[in-house]
Structure 1
Amino acid sequence: MIRLGKRNKWVQISILVVVLVIGGLTMAGSVFKDDKLPRVGDKAPDFKLAGLDGQVHRLSDYKGKAVIVNFWGTFCEPCRKEMPDIQQQSKEWADSAVVLGVNVMGESKVTVKSFIDQVKVDFPILLDPDDATRRKYGVADFPTTFFINPEGKIVQIVTGPLKEQAIRQTLSAILKK
């Protein structure tokens, strides 16, 4: 029979305390990190992403226009369903607004291009290969869309699919038209 001495008991208690402290710090870090996520009224974080068009796009390139930043994936059926409505509004508001579709989860360029060809959209499709932009915006559900005013502030965040009328109403309010 092996008896644990008092020393072994203190080692076990010390290990438990260290694990609890590390776990607590990790949870606290997550809570405070969420405070940095963009919210309505905040300046939208700038990003720099390559597009399917071969160009590099920065959010700051579109200052002075309303911007719709739509985070989506080819695996997302609601994303597929909202694309025609977003495309239509992209054309309707081309003079004063731009849509940027941000593909997430590191999907291959071939997969994304095939999807875009199927849903027939022509607004810029940007690739977020390491999900850095998705994480910077705190996006966990798809689709998620950020409406940004011409001054670069987030006006509305929508989780879930958009319909044409909702896009039109939001852009009308942002641009006061």
Structure 2
Amino acid sequence: MYLLVALILAGASSLVAAGGKYGEEAPEFPPGVFNDGRQYRLEDFRGKTVVLFFYEKDCPRCRGSIPDRNKVVQAYKDKPVKFIAIGAGDTLAEAKSYAGQTGLAMPVFSDSFSLMEKRYGQTISLNNIWQFRVVGPDGKVAGYKMELNEEYLEKAVAASTWKYKDQGYDAKLNPAIDLLEWGQYEQGVTKLRPFLKNANAEVAASAQKLFEALKTEGQQWMDEAAKAESENPIGAYDLYARTAATFAGDPLGEKAKGSLKAISAKQPVQDELAARKMYEGFVGAMAQSNPTNKTKLIELGKKIVQKYPSTPVANKVNTVLSEIGA
């Protein structure tokens, strides 16, 4: 049930208030891109710790601190914690450049409109060169520091758990397991598949055991989707789509494809899918825009809202338009 709720919340929120204080729910990432080409959501990391590092790219002191930041990342590399940097006010090109020049050992979110920092109630500048937020396994802010042996970070990590890593699977499966742990199911299963036919019988057996566990989880997605079809067809669609993509070519994936085709005939789903196609252009424009160059972005956003006003995508776009002062 939790995954379905997460999908609903990710798409349906239309208002975002500044937050990020201790004990509060950690605000989600706004639409945007990361320097590694992947997409991350705090909702996908429930049960684990996330450390957010907001930085000022033009500050020499901040750049000089990166080796120390990387030491913390390295120290926790085998723990259920994810480190993500936020390039406050940075375009994607600037975020990539900063990571490349400094060797920053974590993905970087291009926060070109400074929406992420505003959602956390702060302004990064040469007078406020960095900030941190430790997000605990319950999704709430649990601390403000990123340091070795820091009390609140240690507490959050101690309360976090791996889903698959500590289950005794063969070490050769770790690249696939790493992807799975951080919500990258489709990529994780793709990485796992070759091991199902590994020449080493023990490795193949371990891979099969993991695959069976994943199929059990996939069946749970299917069950949640079936229950949600009448009241939340869009959420059901997303669960079916996730199952079909993760288990492509398998009986479970084929079953999901059939359900996906049927639910795609519903008008709310059709509208949402059409809105998502337009939204891809909106996110792309966002990566190329900034506070002084946002005319095209605003035009695209308003078109989505006008054409598909009742969709979750329209709600997300409305939020962004409000945040950038459109």
| TM > 0.5 | yes
Deviation per residue, 1:38-88 (Å, 9 max, x gap)? 310111111244100111221212211111111112112332133222222
The equivalent of 1:124 in structure 2 is: 107
Q: 2:29 aligns with which of 47, 53, 73?
A: 47
Unaligned runs of 5+ in 2: 1-16, 160-326
The structure, 1 or 2, with the larger RCO (C-alpha pairs under 8 Å, 6+ apart) is: 1
Unaligned runs of 5+ in 1: 1-34
Q: 1:175 aligns with which of 138, 153, 157?
A: 157
Structure 1 residue ranges, 4+ long, deviating more than 3 angstroms after superposition: none
Question: 2 CA distance for matches of 1:36 and 1:73?
Answer: 20
Instruction: Give TM-score, length-normalised by structure 1.
Output: 0.68
The equivalent of 1:100 in structure 2 is: 84
The equivalent of 1:68 in structure 2 is: 51
Which one has a larger percent helix, Structure 1 or Structure 2? 2
Give 1 or 2 for the bigger CA radius of gyration: 1
Q: 2:136 aligns with which of 149, 162, 167?
A: 149
Deviation per residue, 1:105-151 (Å, 9 max, x gap)? 1x233333222122212311111111111111112232010011111
Given residue 141 of structure 2, which amino acid in structure 1 is its aligned partner?
A: I
When the two chains are superposed, the root-mean-square deviation of aligned CA atoms in Å is 2.2
Question: 2 CA distance for matches of 1:52 and 1:36?
Answer: 25
Given residue 40 of structure 2, which amino acid in structure 1 is its aligned partner?
A: H
Given residue 157 of structure 1, which amino acid in structure 2 is its aligned partner?
A: Y
Shift in alpha-carbon separation, 1:36–1:138, aligned structure 2, 3 A: closer
The answer (yes or no) to whether the contact 2:19–2:26 under 8 Å persists in 1 is no
SS of 1:79's equivalent? helix
Question: 2 CA distance for matches of 1:59 and 1:79?
Answer: 25
The answer (yes or no) to whether the contact 1:50–1:57 under 8 Å persists in 2 is no
The answer (yes or no) to whether the contact 2:91–2:111 under 8 Å persists in 1 is no
**Residue 113 (str. 1) matches residue 100 (str. 2):** no
SS of 1:55's equivalent? coil
Shift in alpha-carbon separation, 1:113–1:36, aligned structure 2, 3 A: closer
Given residue 87 of structure 2, which amino acid in structure 1 is its aligned partner?
A: N
Deviation per residue, 1:10-35 (Å, 9 max, x gap)? xxxxxxxxxxxxxxxxxxxxxxxxx8
Deviation (angstroms), 1:36: 4.7
Identical counterparts, % of pairs? 22
Query: Size of the alignment, in residue pairs?
Result: 137
SS of 2:28's equivalent? coil
Deviation (angstroms), 1:101: 0.1
The answer (yes or no) to whether the contact 2:35–2:110 under 8 Å persists in 1 is yes
**Residue 135 (str. 1) matches residue 118 (str. 2):** yes
The answer (yes or no) to whether the contact 1:78–1:143 under 8 Å persists in 2 is no
SS of 2:51's equivalent? strand
Question: 2 CA distance for matches of 1:119 and 1:40?
Answer: 30
Question: 2 CA distance for matches of 1:138 and 1:36?
Answer: 5
